[in-house]
Structure formats: C-alpha cells, structure tokens
C-alpha cells in the first residue's frame, strides 16, 4: 500500500475570479474547495508547487488523502482538477470529504503484469491492447483497493480479460458490472498484428498513376468549362 498523501491547505475568504487570479499569480497558490461529508463547503488554497508534486503519485487520484486545514485533518478524495489548457498549471481542485460509514465512487487504475512475457506477443507475433486503464468502483473507504492487477503472461492472440475476470476485494462493486452483463467490457486483449496484403501494396503503388490520370481529367474539364 502506498504511503498516504498529506496536503497542507489554508482557509480562504476572498472569492471570485479576480481573487483566484491574484492567488495564483501573486502567491503561487491554487484555489480549491472541500465539500460533502455532512459539512458545509469550505474554500481553501494549496501551494501550487506542493500540489504538483503530490499529483505525480498515481494514488493522488484514486486514494483517500489527508488535507490539513488550519490544524484540522480532513479525509478526502479528489473529485475534479482544472488545468490550464497550454501551461503546466493547476487552476482549481475539488475535494470530497469522506465518512467511514459512507460509500464513495472512485476510479481505480489497472496495472498490467508481465507484458514482456506475454505468450501472444513473444510467440504469436501479436500485440497487447489495453482497453481500460481505470475502473470505477463503489465501496466504503476502508475497502478501497489501491489498484487492480492483470497478468498477461499466458494470454495468446485472441485471448482477453474482462471486468468480470478482475480479482475484486470483498465489499467492492464494479460500477459497470452492476449495470448488467452487457457492460462486461474487455480490459485487455492480445490482437493479431496487422498484415499488409500484397495487393494492398500494389494498389498503393498504382495510386500515384491513378491520381495523375484524375488530375489530367480535371484539367480537361476545367478547359472545357473555360471554353463554354
């Protein structure tokens, strides 16, 4: 289990777009909010540098965090992160308080094991297709898995692992499977490598000549149009 991430935050009372811009530009801090858990929403700010460092960890997005505000430790999960469209800058972050007796919905990452040893890749000239990189679960905070692991070593071309094949801890529900069997999506599969047929290659070689003929035809049509 990864070490729990602790974030230090400050309460803020100055709100609005102008206040948020000043906070980001002059103080190097990121505006945010904590809500839920039976308490009133609380506006906070965090150090942009410390927040970026914490976001490097995969667990930042899928595990329970400790957010310390004015000496009070709040257990929360990340619900939304707003980023600048062209710069490595966080504009706003939303946290949801959690309670030990209240289920939460979180996206959990999927890790593939033994990709280099995959039978379908080594022996059958296939390739691994990772269809789902994270899975939404619903559970109590104490049952929250850190990640799901899928061993692909024995998968051959045409084999796949579906959501229903994942090893799910007790007390954890996969949101998609709860909707019915039709939502049992493939997580990873091994596909045959695409083979370029010889006639396709020949067709590509003939394409420039065909294009030249089409271009000549277009010129003739344009010439006829001018004469009309």
Query: What is the CATH code for 104-192?
Result: 2.170.120.20
In sequence order, the 6+-apart residues with CB closer than 8 A to the CB of 87 are: none
Q: Say if pTM beats, i.e. exceeds, 0.85.
A: no
Q: 94, 67 in Cβ contact below 8 A?
A: no
Cα Rg, the chain, nearest whole Å: 27
With beta carbons less than 8 A apart as the criterion, state whether 72 and 34 touch: no
Secondary structure element (H or E) that encloses residue 15, with its range:
none
With b meaning 16 or more CB within 10 Å and e meaning fewer, what string describes 26-56?
A: eeebbbbbbebeeeeebbbbbbbebbeebbe
Q: What does the pLDDT average to over 58-78? A: 94
Confidence of residue 108 (pLDDT cuts 50, 70, 90): very high
Fold exhibited by the domain 6-97: Ribosomal Protein L25; Chain P (2.40.240)
pLDDT at 195: 61
**What are the structural domain ranges in the chain?**
6-97, 104-192
Mean pLDDT calculated for residue range 110-132: 96
pLDDT at 200: 52
Percent of the chain with pLDDT over 90: 71
pLDDT band at 208 (very low <50, low <70, confident <90, very high): low
């Amino acid at each position: 289990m990864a070490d729990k991430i602790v974030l230090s935050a400050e309460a803020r009372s100055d709100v609005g777009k102008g206040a948020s811009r000043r906070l980001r530009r002059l103080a190097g801090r990121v505006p945010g909010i904590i809500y839920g858990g039976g308490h009133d929403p609380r506006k906070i700010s965090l150090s942009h540098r410390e927040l970026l460092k914490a976001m490097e960890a995969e667990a930042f997005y899928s595990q329970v965090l400790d957010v310390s505000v004015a000496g009070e430790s709040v257990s929360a999960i990340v619900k939304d992160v707003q980023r600048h469209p062209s710069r490595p800058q966080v504009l706003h972050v939303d946290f949801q308080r959690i309670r030990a007796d209240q289920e939460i919905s979180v996206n959990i990452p999927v890790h593939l094991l033994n990709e280099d040893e995959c039978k379908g890749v080594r022996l059958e000239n296939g390739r691994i297709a990772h269809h789902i990189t994270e899975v939404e679960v619903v559970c109590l905070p104490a049952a929250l898995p850190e990640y799901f692991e899928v061993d692909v070593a024995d998968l051959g071309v045409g084999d796949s692992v579906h959501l229903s094949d994942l090893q799910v801890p007790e007390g954890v529900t996969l949101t998609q499977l709860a909707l019915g069997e039709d939502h049992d999506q493939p997580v990873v599969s091994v596909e045959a490598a695409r083979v370029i047929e010889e006639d396709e290659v020949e067709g590509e070689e003939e394409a420039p000549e065909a294009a030249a003929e089409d271009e000549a035809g277009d010129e003739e049509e344009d010439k006829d149009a001018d004469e009309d």
